[in-house]
Amino acid sequence: MSDDLYQAAILDLARQGAAATRLPHADATATVDNPLCGDRTTVDVTLAGGRIANIGYKTRGCALCQAAAALLATTAIGLDAPAIAVGTAAVTASLQDKGPDPMSPWEGFGIFTPVRRHPSRRSCVLLPFEALAKAFTAASAV
Amino acid sequence: MSDDLYQAAILDLARQGAAATRLPHADATATVDNPLCGDRTTVDVTLAGGRIANIGYKTRGCALCQAAAALLATTAIGLDAPAIAVGTAAVTASLQDKGPDPMSPWEGFGIFTPVRRHPSRRSCVLLPFEALAKAFTAASAV
Amino acid sequence: MSGFDVAALRREFPILVPGLHYLDNAATAQTPRAVLDALIAHETTHRANVLRGVYRLAEEATAAYHAARVELAGYVNARDPNEVVFTSGTTGAINLVAHGFGAALKPGDEIVISVLEHHSNIVPWQLLRDRAGVVLKALPVTLDGRIELAELPRLIGPRTRLVAVTHASNVTGAVTDVATVVAAARSVGAPVLLDGAQMAPHGPLDVQALGVDFYAFSGHKMFAPNGVGVLWGRAEVLAAMAPFQGGGEMIRRVTLARTEYADPPHRFEAGTPPIAQAVALAAAARWVRGLPAEAVHAHLRRLTERLLDGLAARGRVRVIGPTGLQGRLATVSFAVARVHPHDVCQILDARGVALRGGHHCAQPLMDALDLAGTARASLAPYNDDGDIDAFFAGLDDVLRRFP
Amino acid sequence: MSGFDVAALRREFPILVPGLHYLDNAATAQTPRAVLDALIAHETTHRANVLRGVYRLAEEATAAYHAARVELAGYVNARDPNEVVFTSGTTGAINLVAHGFGAALKPGDEIVISVLEHHSNIVPWQLLRDRAGVVLKALPVTLDGRIELAELPRLIGPRTRLVAVTHASNVTGAVTDVATVVAAARSVGAPVLLDGAQMAPHGPLDVQALGVDFYAFSGHKMFAPNGVGVLWGRAEVLAAMAPFQGGGEMIRRVTLARTEYADPPHRFEAGTPPIAQAVALAAAARWVRGLPAEAVHAHLRRLTERLLDGLAARGRVRVIGPTGLQGRLATVSFAVARVHPHDVCQILDARGVALRGGHHCAQPLMDALDLAGTARASLAPYNDDGDIDAFFAGLDDVLRRFP
Ligand SMILES: Cc1ncc(COP(=O)(O)O)c(C=O)c1O
Ligand SMILES: Cc1ncc(COP(=O)(O)O)c(C=O)c1O
């Protein structure tokens, strides 16, 4: 049933995510807890010209959360706040039952679409997005 | 079914109860509410030598409550606190399912035994007893 | 005649055996097979704790519980399902507001209720008064058992922080003119809570059109199980509210030093919620929506008219509440001279007529009307002419026995 | 082998279809046909509101509700049925105490809990702390997931007003040595509350022998519906307690100026109670008593041993909690190195094994153990060797997939 949740691609990304490190000199940092499972992601960002220059993070979470954090950390580089919001909405929609596949540059998140059949796991994928948005807002406010 | 609850004897007593009056110079007075239906009995007593000399009362209640008050007001005259407690226990027991018939001088309360099949009405019969006990205690404390 | 098949409707209710004339619907309505089936189906195929499990049953239970929230949001026309908080009932809902909203009130702040409220919309505010020093004011009642709205300008003022009144009286059946209450409350910026325990069973509601801020009701009065109810609250108002009970589900993060609370509705749903009951309440909401509303309305109106006319025709009987059909529910209280309501009910019970007598958890109203209690017949769509016939036959027996 | 016919027992549970291995009983237990039948029988033959109706259905509903109270009083060996308060669940019961008992506490008074409590036995006391300025102290946890009772003398003192701990942990399965807690509390005159959510399903209790003052548990964890639970309280302690929620049933006399409250248990049962659910809970209590206690105990012990041995045999797996069979329930938490509990659960779900992963509403315990969460298998009498086999097959799959 849920086997394809744990395809090699996700497990590879998850390993990457688990090995991730924080940024030493971040413009801003945000930590977000998943209220339902207690998982936690901390995201550091540096900005340049209103766009994300660099991302660091540390995630205490499941393979889905780790993998999503790893993929987000590469996908988001160079994007500004509206682009991140659009991507978050696209990925959120793609996880819904019969949701649309995410489009470029978010198409990599297509590996998470098996989550469509497991609504309780959607928040695992989305937790890093929440943290990034929070960090972005904090950094822009500085 | 419950028709015999409203035999002539009870209805006569109830009319008597409804017409009752308070004592002008009571040694003590107690008012008790039935928490479940909001009915209310006020009982006045005068004592002589630790025994009930006179009872007055006013009851805002159903026919069962009125009838019980009327019967109690006559039965209790001349009794002391322990005798009233014994009678209260005997009448209480007589209202239970398969309870024993009450014995002298409480045998008059036998007219209430149809209440055995209507547990919700037991407290109607017992409310005047509660008020009398309270008034007695108050009067003895004076 | 009444435009729908009441006999067929009765057959949906296993409890309605011949000879039972159930006229105590305002206390608890009966439950149709469809609701029981939904309850049993849930318990035998999707039973699990919600929100935190990843396995199939837990996903299904969570989805069913969420779907129930969506259904109830539709029933009251909420803007967002997250405005629907499942509670243990109307009482639980109002106590939640008294604590969660009441926590922000200061001594001297005022809450306006009415004299004809159910104890569940009085005592929580008294407890808040005792805790927080707020002032409790009560709109009086008119001679025909309605809230005296003409007194609104006198009672509502700059210190008013909440107006909490019933949408319909469980004693007199009077329906409150909500628009007038809301206009008065808005004029001083106070939110409005409606106790919808009596109104909710009568069909879908529109909390947005009503313009109120809180709406509370109970499952067991709308054909669903006990132990479940709803507090609908406007999103902004809920978001600003403190939690009430503490426990599982209502938290974001717990440490011994401090706890962060979840967003509504979870903030207000501490502990395992009444899952199967909420699912059954949603089934009841669907069932109510499935009734032919117009025909049911006409049917109840006709039976209510029979009640009111028949009572008026009996000299010793007095209707407590509106004597006309305008602005009222199919709930009729009455007093019989020289006969206590419990004696009325007992004699009717011998004929299978289930009627309630007493103070109906509205003692201040009884005091205001100077009554020990009333007898009350309250109708549901499944009541029929046979029930009314039995009622009047019993009432005439009462009048005969207590001359 | 296990002395009773587990296959026959499974057939009493409609939800237990072949292929489902339900190992999340600590969150919610499944419900047998006998309990569902009691629920439906009540709803279809005795449904009415309780306590205030004089007609036949109301008398029957009241009698059934009272009989449920008597049954539960027997289940916990209360001296008096009036010591049994029906609540919405464990969470509702503990919040009731936090308000009703907590109302008498003064700033600086102390409440002792433990680090391994469920949020439902933490957050209500934090809310009380914030309201009333009481001091909250927490017994630490031992390395094998038990309450560190050696710290009792240090934490309990002259300002201790209540000791509130769990009877058994929902995470580690550890059973608390109640006698030691009670002795320490008694030495300073403090009452003891036990959170019995996990213990109550395991058979009748003796609150008098335990020597405690409050005992709380939930219906849905003991094979009964959601939305109902019990607070047992010693009569004298309940009598001295303030009301919690306000509403119908809990009053003696209401006027707008002031209200007199009813005696326990009614004082604490505001509003229409969960009637059918209480009746079903009583049926569940009878059902538990009807099980062959010795044989069930041996059966669960054997399955628990299989779990503990099998987990110990797998190198990357660590049991969180007692690794032996002494003083523990059939609830086993574990951590798999490099695999998140939710991934463990998800992979087991694909094989029909229902397991819970996460913080189990015990975040302070997780913090103390420095874990994000655990995976947890919790057994009920209807679990069998097939369930354990499926569990280990799934676990080996996890270890293979996450090398
Ligand atoms: C030890 C313990 N206490 C309290 C609770 C809360 O019970 P409920 O959610 O039924 O109120 C639970 C169950 O989740 C528990 O395991
Ligand atoms: C108008 C009104 N408000 C509140 C309540 C309380 O509802 P519940 O007992 O279901 O909490 C009732 C029902 O008794 C009612 O009629």
Q: How confident is the model at residue A4 (pLDDT cuts 50, 70, 90)?
A: confident
Distance (Å) from CA D120 to ligand 1 centroid: 6
Quick one: which ligand is closest to C117's CA?
Answer: 2
Distance CA D99, CA C202 (A): 35
Distance (Å) from CA C91 to ligand 2 centroid: 6
| Contacting residues of B for C401, CB less than 8 Å apart | 6, 11
Q: Which amino acid is at B26?
A: A
Given an 8 Å threshold on Cβ–Cβ distance, is B38 in contact with D54? no
**Do the beta carbons of residue C29 and residue D47 sit within 8 Å?**
no
Q: How confident is the model at residue C3 (pLDDT cuts 50, 70, 90)?
A: low
Q: Ligand 2: which residue has its CA nearest to atom 12?
A: C197
Q: Which chain C residues in 340-379 lie under 8 Å from chain B, judged by CB atoms?
A: 340-343, 346-347, 349-350, 357-359, 363, 366, 372-373
* CB nearest B5 (choices: C338, C346, C358): C346
Quick one: which ligand is closest to C362's CA?
Answer: 2
Distance CA C240, CA C247 (A): 19
Does C389 touch chain B if contact means CB atoms closer than 8 Å? no
Distance CA C2, CA C151 (A): 39
* CB nearest A36 (choices: C51, C63, C260): C51
Region D58-80 average pLDDT? 97
Q: Which atom of ligand 1 is closest in space to residue D361's alpha carbon? A: 14
| Contacting residues of A for C51, CB less than 8 Å apart | 36, 120
Given an 8 Å threshold on Cβ–Cβ distance, is C248 in contact with D119? yes
Given an 8 Å threshold on Cβ–Cβ distance, is C338 in contact with B3? no
Does C372 touch chain D if contact means CB atoms closer than 8 Å? no
Could you tell me if the CB of C90 is within 6 A of ligand 2?
A: yes
| Contacting residues of D for B36, CB less than 8 Å apart | 51-52
**Closest residue by Cα to residue C47 from D391, A35, D16, D281:** D16
Residue in chain C lying closest to B64 (CA) = C343
Q: At what angle do helices D56-76 and D33-45 cross, to 10 degrees?
A: 150
Region B90-113 average pLDDT? 93
Distances (CA, A) of B109 to B10, B16, B18, B75, B88: 10, 15, 18, 10, 10
**Phi, psi (degrees; rounded to nearest 5) at C141:** -115, 145
Ranges A30-34, C70-74, C343-347, D88-92: which has the least confidence: A30-34
Given an 8 Å threshold on Cβ–Cβ distance, is A118 in contact with D359? no
Task: Please tell me the distance in Å from A118's CA to the nearest CA on chain D.
Answer: 9
Segments making up each domain of chain D, as ranges: 6-28+292-401, 35-289
Q: How confident is the model at residue A142 (pLDDT cuts 50, 70, 90)?
A: low
Q: For C197-213, write each residue's pLDDT tens digit.
A: 999 999 999 999 999 99
Q: What pLDDT does residue D1 have?
A: 45
Q: How confident is the model at residue B38 (pLDDT cuts 50, 70, 90)?
A: confident
* CB nearest C350 (choices: B3, B62, B66): B3
Does C55 touch chain D if contact means CB atoms closer than 8 Å? yes
Distance (Å) from CA C271 to ligand 1 centroid: 7
Q: Could you name the CATH architecture of C35-289? A: 3-Layer(aba) Sandwich (3.40)
| D345 classed as catalytic | no
Residues 6 or more apart whose CB falls under 8 angstroms from that of D41 comprise none
Q: For C217-264, write each residue's pLDDT tens digit.
A: 999 999 999 999 999 999 999 999 999 999 988 888 889 998 989 999
Region A57-81 average pLDDT? 93
Region A89-111 average pLDDT? 93
Q: For C161-182, write each residue's pLDDT tens digit.
A: 999 999 999 999 999 999 999 9
Alpha helices in D46-122 (DSSP H): 56-76, 90-100
Distance CA C294, CA B95 (A): 49
Residue D352 has pLDDT above 80, yes or no: yes
Given an 8 Å threshold on Cβ–Cβ distance, is B63 in contact with C347? no
Q: What pLDDT does residue D12 have?
A: 97
Could you tell me if the CB of D90 is within 6 A of ligand 1?
A: yes
Given an 8 Å threshold on Cβ–Cβ distance, is D54 in contact with B120? yes
Tokens for C304, please give them: 């209510």
Residue in chain A lying closest to D341 (CA) = A62
Options D20, D149, D183, D361, the catalytic residue: D361
* CB nearest C248 (choices: D22, D118, D275): D118
Mean residue pLDDT across chain C: 96
Query: Which chains share 3+ C-beta pairs under 8 angstroms with C?
Result: A, B, D
Q: What pLDDT does residue C250 have?
A: 87
Q: Ligand 2: which residue has its CA nearest to atom 15?
A: C197
Given an 8 Å threshold on Cβ–Cβ distance, is D49 in contact with C98? no
SS3 C51: coil
Q: How confident is the model at residue D2 (pLDDT cuts 50, 70, 90)?
A: very low
Ranges A113-127, C275-289, D184-198: which has the least confidence: A113-127
Paired with D336 in beta bridges are D317, D339
Q: What pLDDT does residue D348 have?
A: 96
| Contacting residues of D for A36, CB less than 8 Å apart | 358
Does B35 touch chain D if contact means CB atoms closer than 8 Å? yes
Mean residue pLDDT across chain B: 90
Pocket test for ligand 1, best of D125, D167, D169, D170 (most atoms within 8 A of CB): D170
Mean residue pLDDT across chain D: 96
Region C274-293 average pLDDT? 97
Q: How confident is the model at residue B39 (pLDDT cuts 50, 70, 90)?
A: confident
Residue B6 has pLDDT above 60, yes or no: yes
Region B116-138 average pLDDT? 91
Given an 8 Å threshold on Cβ–Cβ distance, is A6 in contact with D373? no
Distance (Å) from CA D248 to ligand 2 centroid: 7
Task: Please tell me the distance in Å from D18's CA to the nearest CA on chain A.
Answer: 17
Q: What pLDDT does residue C1 have?
A: 45
Residue C83 has pLDDT above 50, yes or no: yes
Ranges C159-173, C359-373, D292-306: which has the least confidence: C359-373
The CA R_g of chain D, rounded to the nearest whole Å, is 22
**Do the beta carbons of residue D54 and residue B121 sit within 8 Å?**
yes
**Closest residue by Cα to residue D173 from D339, D376, D353, D318:** D376
Q: Which chain C residues in 62-121 lie under 8 Å from chain A, judged by CB atoms?
A: 62-63
Q: Which amino acid is at C63?
A: A
Q: For D353-371, write each residue's pLDDT tens digit.
A: 999 999 999 999 999 999 9
Residue A1 has pLDDT above 60, yes or no: no
Going along chain A from its start, the domains and CATH numbers come out as 8-140 (3.90.1010.10)
Paired with D332 in beta bridges are D377
Does B36 touch chain D if contact means CB atoms closer than 8 Å? yes
Q: What pLDDT does residue D250 have?
A: 87
Whether the complex's predicted ipTM surpasses the cut of 0.95: no
Q: What pLDDT does residue C403 have?
A: 87
Q: At what angle do helices B122-141 and B63-75 cross, to 10 degrees?
A: 40
SS3 C181: helix
Q: For D213-270, write each residue's pLDDT tens digit.
A: 999 999 999 999 999 999 999 999 999 999 999 998 888 888 998 898 999 999 999 9
Tokens for C309, please give them: 């006319």
Region A4-20 average pLDDT? 90
Paired with C317 in beta bridges are C336
| Contacting residues of C for B124, CB less than 8 Å apart | 342
Q: What pLDDT does residue B34 have?
A: 81
Does C306 touch chain B if contact means CB atoms closer than 8 Å? no
Q: Does C377 or D3 have the greater pLDDT score?
A: C377
Residue A64 has pLDDT above 80, yes or no: yes
Q: What pLDDT does residue A5 have?
A: 86
Q: For C116-156, write each residue's pLDDT tens digit.
A: 999 999 999 999 999 999 999 999 999 999 999 999 999 99
Q: Which CATH class is domain C6-28+292-401?
A: alpha beta
Q: How confident is the model at residue D3 (pLDDT cuts 50, 70, 90)?
A: low
